[in-house]
Amino acid sequence: MATHSNNQYFVPHGSIYPAVLSAGLLSLASGFIFSLGGDKGLDHLHTPGKWMMILGAVIIMTMVFKWMGTVIGESLTGKYQNWEDKSFRIGMIVFICSEIAFFAAFFGALFYMRVLSVPDLAAFDPAFTPYKDFVGTWPSLGPGGHTQGVGGLVVSGNYVPPTNFHAMQPWGLPAINTLLLLTSGATITWAHWGLIKNNRKQLIIGMALTVALGIAFLICQALEYHHAYTEMGLTLGSGAYGATFFMLTGFHGFHVTLGTIMLIVILLRCMKGHFTPEHHFGFEGVAWYWHFVDVVWLGLFIFVYWL
Amino acid sequence: MSTTTVAHHEEHHDHPTGIMRWLTTTNHKDIGTMYLTFSLIMFLVGGSMILGIRAELFKPGLQLMNPEFFNQLIGVHALIMIFAALMPAATGFANWMIPLQIGAPDMALPRLNNWGFWLLPPSAILLTLPFTLAMFGIGDGALATGWTFYPPLSVQGGIGVDFAIFAVHLLGISSVMGSINIIVTLFNMRAPGMTLMKMPMFAWGWLITAFLLVATIPVLAGAVTMLLTDRHFGTHFFDAAGGGDPIMFQHLFWFFGHPEVYILLLPVWGFIPQILEAFSRKPMYGYKAQVYSLWAIGALAVVVWAHHFFTAGMPVPALLYFMYSTMAISLPLAVLFFCWIKTMWNGSMSFETPMLFAVGWIILFGIGGLTGLVLADVAADAQYHNSYFVVAHFHYTLFAGGIMGIMAGVYYWLPKMTGHMYNEKLGKLHFWLTAISFNLTFIPQFFLGLAGMPRRIPDYALQFAEFNMISSIAAFVLGFSQLLFVYNIISCARGGQKATDQVWEGAQGLEWTLPSPPPYHSFTEQPVIK
Amino acid sequence: MVTQGMKNVGLGLLLSLAAIHANADYSWNFPEPVTPMALDTLHVHNKFMIITGIIFFVVLAIMIYSIIAHRKDKGFQAVPDKTPSTAVEIFWTLIPFAILLLIDFVIMGIPAYHSVVMMEDTRDKATMVVKITGSQWRWQYEYLDGDAQGIKFVSNLTTTDDEMHNKAEKKEHYLLDVDNHLVLPVGEKVRVLMTATDVLHNWWVPQFGSSRVAVPGFIRETWVQVEKPGTYRGQCKELCGKGHGYMPIVVDAIPMDEYKTWVAAKKEELAKAAAGSDKEWTKDDLVANGKSVYEKNCAVCHQVTGAGLPPAFPALTGSKIATSPIFGADGKYLPDSHLDRVLNGKGVMPAWKATLNDVEIASVITYERNALGNSVGDMVQPSQVKAARQ
Ligand code: HEA
Ligand code: HEA
Ligand code: CUA
Ligand SMILES: [Cu+2]
């Protein structure tokens, strides 16, 4: 076990934030359920679901910001030495691993459908298959509901695949988005060099650029979604392709949003001069996160858009 | 003053008391205590639910409840027992004992640690709220799909499913936070000189559990998220019409679900050897071999998931692969069993309650494991699958292997935690009642399964009557004997004969070098291991 | 002390064993196998039980010896293992490893391999094909080839509510009896196609040893070859909702010649039904016929009274769909009309066009509109249903 520059580990004050944060999550989750519509939902009871959600969201945000505020305060008052710093680094790495596992689930679903379920549906014994003219090629919208098989084989619901459907083409907006994210990866590294060289100008410009690129990415994705829904017949509901496309890119976009917010916070802290060349985990943690988001996008570009 | 910890400094003024102490605490012992208490309460709740089931199954015919409610009780029983009783108990021990065992001042990320616990009560509320809502005519009760959430049934189901989905999300966040904390603590907080290969076995068990959690819980979160969108937002992940596949959910679920069962037992496999060595008064046998076996199990755990749905239809090569890889798990476990028994061999054994539970545990978990080995056989599994044989198997592993293991740990560490000895007579009585009534509850279920009784049915054909009756009666004995356990813990926390620092003659490890109960700050100066 | 514990555990075993003998209906093992597959699984199972049993008792014996011999109160002094050199440790720990290796991959592994191959070979030498469709909460059988081709029927539980609620004496085959049995010829290898219309079900007859999940939208395969004439019973084995415990399976295995006569008889019925859909029916006949169809198929959810179980299962009494017009001006049935809903279903409501014939659908609709507290007065002719199918 390494010998520590300081042999006292910092154990913080008790804090109410975690407990209240959990309460906020409870309110958000149950509010969401209460406001669900449809024949399975509860909104026909005019439940206060929406308000519970808003309340929950407000609580969560306040708690997160207060919590992070405390952490920043502690870091500024030099409570964190190398020993604590190492904890944060290991913690951040493990956390990112769990995020990877989360995306793995959706990539898994994508591969499963492409390689297994869609081809299977097209490959039943021709003598008996209910999907006479269904070809198991990707992109696929599935054979559609109400298929009448031998003696009637009814697949759920009244789902009819959209007819005006087009798959998303990689070499338009998606390619631009790839460019944006890759550049942002470069700019944040450049900013990091600046930080290490104690060159504040380079640091702040680099960060500002990164934030800008992040926002640009989000705008492009918004346009892409709009296009998909209005012109391409590509929606959450359009079969295997639509589901995997929107869940993967959607969750990625969500992570980009979080990442951008964190980047902004870090940018402000840089301006306030919170970071020193030797002591700046806050910066690195977010940088790592950003690179992770970056890599996930590459996976998306290759497997969702391109191949 | 340079040696007093910053921590000391912080904590001494304003030390919140009462409820605020528990809401805000960052102290690993307080948090551990909260986890353990929560676990005990939920054990009782989940247990009483299944007592309802056993009462309904006491004789053929519908006596007490309608089938919907029956199905709801089963699923919630399982989710509560696994996520709210067994896992929090293990995490509670981790919080209490890991810092003590590796000579750390506290867990590495105390505030996160506190959050990890406070996510649990909300999830428990989410799980059980639908029952209450249903009483007021809102929705149709908790999820009625069993704990496995299989679509399309779960897509068809009512709001209970939505509540369960979000409960699982919160539980997942909690487990991941807990795992991060434990991994960091084990890598960064060990006392100088304590190399990884000098870590206590319990720490090893938990380290691997934490890795498994980080790798698999997010996949479950993803799976139930797809379920949510299939239910409400028109996706077709689990619907052939859109090119999806209900069986895909089973793959995702069990990719988490199978590692989960080792997640539940690895911590137990960690501290049982420590109990054995304490009461055999000789160091445990084959430390290295055990560590490697734990790793082997951890690795195999994530590549065998499909043995839970052999009958769902898979290509022959897949069936064979999953059968053989599943069987392979018995190899490292055989090594573990060997080491445990070799640890007892030539020891000078005494049988206080913890040792009784440990030894009983070996035997009963042995039964659970061996029946698991049988289930892995594809051909035979066509018969066992979803029959009571499986129910019996996993109660031998989950209740005997899990809960009874935890009980051994409770009796072993309770004196250290409370500073008092528990009532030995009551403890022994509790063991015998539990061991006997447990077997009487679940041995009949093996035969029920073989005779062809499917699980998850509220009513059964007449030829299954006798065994169900035995099982139900024994289940109630089993249930109520747990009240002894509760009583013993409470009275021990309240007071009783003072416990020495060493407590058990043969106990080994740093936790026994501290006074009982340990000071608020475990190690202000890290001990140095040479 | 622990040995005494063992006694108690043993006692438990005995007790339950005693209970088995109290009831001769079944042994302590799988029920008598009647197909090659079931026979094979039984052998695999027995072999495995013996092997694991041996492991268990050997290890147990060693433990118990140690527990008796190496006790403190016997004054036995601990003899620490001379901290094993890694080599020695590895050698020792490899022994149990090797034993299980042998069992898993040789003694058990090899026979297991053959069983799997046999189990999955559904087509080779199969002489007929039967399609089994699971739906909440009944099985539907259809003969896909041979002279039985076109025969299809639904088989519903016949146990009464009173039996279930202990208001009436439970009959011998409580919960294991259905109106229409699946009939199979003895000795023929039958290729079985499995599918479902709503959720997962699992068609399981213990004495056949074959069990397959029925997945909606997918076709799964298994096979049965019943060697011994008789009536065999099983149950759905995949949780499929509130009726999961109430969708049993009954199979009659009969000699080929009897089977042929049965097929002929069935064909007769079908012909009649077909004729029925062309002739004009009176409202009263339809209502009368509809009552039985309704109580067999619909009452599970919508209840005998038509009150339903809201919110999951809406009431029919006074329901909009069951009271609003069915046919538009052009004589075609309207979307979301009573007929549309019964034919094509929606959400939880199954589509019945595959399950019920024209007469049954016409009758049940007419019944629902003129009974159960409704009195719309109109009716649907089987011929109209027939037309609606095109
Ligand atoms: C902690 C929980 C736990 C543990 C440890 C295990 C351990 C194992 N389980 Fe179990 N299992 C479950 C919990 C667990 N299981 C649950 C909850 C289910 C049902 C889920 C559901 O459907 O709801 C299940 C279901 C289940 C199935 C699916 C059955 C079906 O639905 O058709 C299978 C199939 O292969 C299986 C196999 C195994 C195997 C091979 C092991 C192996 O790890 C076992 C290895 C151990 C050994 C081989 C023992 C070695 C012992 C000796 C060598 C000597 C012993 C003798 C003495 C001590 C005297 N399990
Ligand atoms: C750790 C996991 C765990 C534990 C500890 C248990 C504990 C028990 N389980 Fe559970 N069980 C599961 C996990 C577990 N189970 C799982 C995963 C399933 C599968 C669910 C599914 O199919 O989806 C299952 C399903 C299951 C079934 C099958 C239901 C069915 O398929 O139809 C049965 C039937 O007998 C059963 C019985 C029991 C019994 C008798 C106990 C006993 O050990 C319980 C002991 C009793 C108590 C602990 C009660 C104590 C309380 C009191 C005495 C009253 C006082 C109360 C208060 C103060 C609140 N369980
Ligand atoms: Cu059909 Cu269970
Ligand atoms: Cu498993």
* The three-state (H, E, C) secondary structure of B407-467, written as one string: HHHHHHHHHHHHCECCCHHHHHHHHHHHHHHHHHHHHHHHHHHHHCCECCCCCCCHHHHHH
DSSP for C270-322, written as a single string:
HHHHHHHHHS---HHHHHHHHHHHHHHHTHHHH-TTS--BTTTB---TT-HHH
- Distances, alpha carbon B516 to alpha carbons B202, B416, B495, B500, in Å: 20, 5, 13, 6
Q: Mean pLDDT lowest for which of B89-93, B481-485, C299-303?
A: C299-303
Cβ contacts of B126 on chain A, cutoff 8 Å: 26, 29-30
Tell whether the model's pLDDT for residue C21 goes beyond 50.
no
* Res A145: pLDDT: 65
Tell whether the model's pLDDT for residue B95 goes beyond 50.
yes
* Rounded Cα gap, residues B319 and B317, in angstroms: 5
Enumerate helices (H) and strands (E) in chain C, giving the number of each: 12, 10
pLDDT band at C83 (very low <50, low <70, confident <90, very high): low
* Res B286: pLDDT: 87
Q: Which one of A156, A165, A252 makes the best mutation probe of the B interface by having the most chain B beta carbons within 10 Å?
A: A156
Can you give the pTM of this predicted structure? 0.91
Span B57-80, average pLDDT: 93
Structure tokens at A240: 């295997």
Alpha carbon of B387 to ligand 3 centroid (Å): 13
- Distances, alpha carbon B54 to alpha carbons A273, B60, B64, B445, C188, in Å: 65, 12, 11, 12, 42
**Ligand 3 pocket, residue C236 CB under 6 Å:** yes
Q: How does pLDDT run across A19-71, given as a tens digit for each residue?
A: 999 999 999 999 999 888 777 777 777 778 889 999 999 999 999 999 998 88
* Res B15: pLDDT: 67
* Rounded Cα gap, residues C354 and C342, in angstroms: 11
Structure tokens at C143: 């003969």
Span C182-195, average pLDDT: 93
Complex ipTM, two decimals?
0.90
Q: How does pLDDT run across C113-133, given as a tens digit for each residue?
A: 888 998 888 888 888 999 999
CA-based diameter of chain A, in Å? 77
Dihedral over alpha carbons B39, B42, B48, B53 (to 10 degrees): -100
* Rounded Cα gap, residues B177 and B188, in angstroms: 16
Q: How does pLDDT run across A169-217, given as a tens digit for each residue?
A: 888 888 999 999 999 999 999 999 999 998 989 999 999 999 999 999 9
pLDDT: which is higher, B509 or B530: B509
* Rounded Cα gap, residues B113 and B178, in angstroms: 6
Tell whether the model's pLDDT for residue C20 goes beyond 80.
no
The DSSP bridge pattern shows strands C128-135 and C190-196 to be parallel
The DSSP bridge pattern shows strands C152-155 and C138-143 to be antiparallel
Contact (Cβ atoms closer than 8 angstroms) between residue B205 and residue B270: yes
Peptide linkage before C31 cis (omega within 30 of 0): no
Proportion of chain C above pLDDT 70, given as a percent: 91
Q: How does pLDDT run across B255-312, given as a tens digit for each residue?
A: 999 999 999 999 999 999 999 999 999 888 888 889 999 999 999 999 999 999 999 9
Tell whether the model's pLDDT for residue C63 goes beyond 90.
yes
Span C66-78, average pLDDT: 86
pLDDT band at B493 (very low <50, low <70, confident <90, very high): very high
**Ligand 3 pocket, residue C244 CB under 6 Å:** yes
* Rounded Cα gap, residues B408 and B416, in angstroms: 14
DSSP for B268-309, written as a single string:
HHHHHHHHHHHHHTSPPS-HHHHHHHHHHHHHHHTT-GGGG-
* Rounded Cα gap, residues C333 and C326, in angstroms: 6
B301 Cβ contact list (under 8 Å, min separation 6): B212, B258, B259, B262, B329
The alpha carbon of residue B486 and the mean position of all alpha carbons in its chain are separated, in whole angstroms, by 18
Q: How does pLDDT run across C30-62, given as a tens digit for each residue?
A: 888 999 999 999 998 998 899 999 999 999 999
Structure tokens at C276: 């029925």
C137 Cβ contact list (under 8 Å, min separation 6): C157, C236, C240, C241, C242, C243, C244, C246, C247, C300
Residue nearest to atom 39 of ligand 1 (CA): B372
Does the beta-carbon distance from A91 to B112 stay under 8 Å? yes
* Res B5: pLDDT: 39
Q: At residue B241, what is the residue type?
A: A
Among all residues of chain A, which has the CA nearest to that of B127?
A: A30
* Res A150: pLDDT: 39
Span B110-117, average pLDDT: 93
* Res A158: pLDDT: 67
Tell whether the model's pLDDT for residue B7 goes beyond 50.
no
pLDDT band at A93 (very low <50, low <70, confident <90, very high): very high
DSSP for A187-245, written as a single string:
HHHHHHHHHHTT-HHHHHHHHHHHHHHHHHHHHHHHHHHHHHHHHS---TTSHHHHHHH
* Rounded Cα gap, residues B381 and B368, in angstroms: 15
- 3-state secondary structure at position B352: coil
Does the beta-carbon distance from C93 to B335 stay under 8 Å? yes
* Rounded Cα gap, residues B341 and B277, in angstroms: 10
Helices (H), chain C: 2-22, 36-69, 86-102, 109-120, 161-164, 256-278, 283-297, 299-302, 320-323, 338-344, 358-370, 382-389
Among all residues of chain B, which has the CA nearest to that of C313?
A: B140
Chains in touch with B (3+ beta-carbon pairs under 8 Å) read A, C
pLDDT band at C314 (very low <50, low <70, confident <90, very high): confident
CB contact, 8 Å: B374 with chain C?
A: yes
* Res A79: pLDDT: 82
Contact (Cβ atoms closer than 8 angstroms) between residue B255 and residue B322: no
Proportion of chain B above pLDDT 90, given as a percent: 77
Residue C66 sits at the vertex; the CA angle it makes with C65 and C71, to the nearest 5 degrees, is 120
Cβ contacts of A18 on chain B, cutoff 8 Å: 111-112, 114-115, 118
Tell whether the model's pLDDT for residue B364 goes beyond 50.
yes
* Rounded Cα gap, residues C187 and C206, in angstroms: 18
- 3-state secondary structure at position C202: strand
Mean model confidence pLDDT for chain B = 91
Angle between helices C86-102 and B330-344 (to 10 degrees): 130
Span B225-239, average pLDDT: 92
Nearest CA-CA partner of C293 in C385, C364, C343, C357: C364
* Res B172: pLDDT: 95
Among all residues of chain B, which has the CA nearest to that of A46?
A: B138
Does the beta-carbon distance from A150 to C131 stay under 8 Å? yes
* Res B13: pLDDT: 46
Span A61-88, average pLDDT: 88
Q: Is the dihedral of CA C116, C117, C122, C127 positive or negative?
A: negative
Helix (H) or strand (E) holding A83: helix A82-111
pLDDT band at C308 (very low <50, low <70, confident <90, very high): confident
* Res B222: pLDDT: 96
Does the beta-carbon distance from A154 to C346 stay under 8 Å? no
Span A283-302, average pLDDT: 94
First CA to last CA distance, chain B: 27
Cβ contacts of B429 on chain C, cutoff 8 Å: none
Alpha carbon of C188 to ligand 2 centroid (Å): 44
Tell whether the model's pLDDT for residue B368 goes beyond 90.
yes
Contact (Cβ atoms closer than 8 angstroms) between residue B113 and residue B25: no
Contact (Cβ atoms closer than 8 angstroms) between residue B287 and residue B238: no
* Ion ligand 4 — residues with CB < 5 Å: B 258
Nearest CA-CA partner of A289 in A266, A273, A272, A271: A266
**Ligand 3 pocket, residue C181 CB under 6 Å:** no
* Res C343: pLDDT: 83
* Res C376: pLDDT: 83
Q: Is the dihedral of CA C296, C297, C301, C303 positive or negative?
A: negative
Span A139-163, average pLDDT: 65
pLDDT band at C319 (very low <50, low <70, confident <90, very high): confident
Dihedral over alpha carbons A157, A162, A168, A173 (to 10 degrees): -110
Cβ contacts of A104 on chain B, cutoff 8 Å: 218-219, 222
Alpha carbon of C137 to ligand 3 centroid (Å): 7
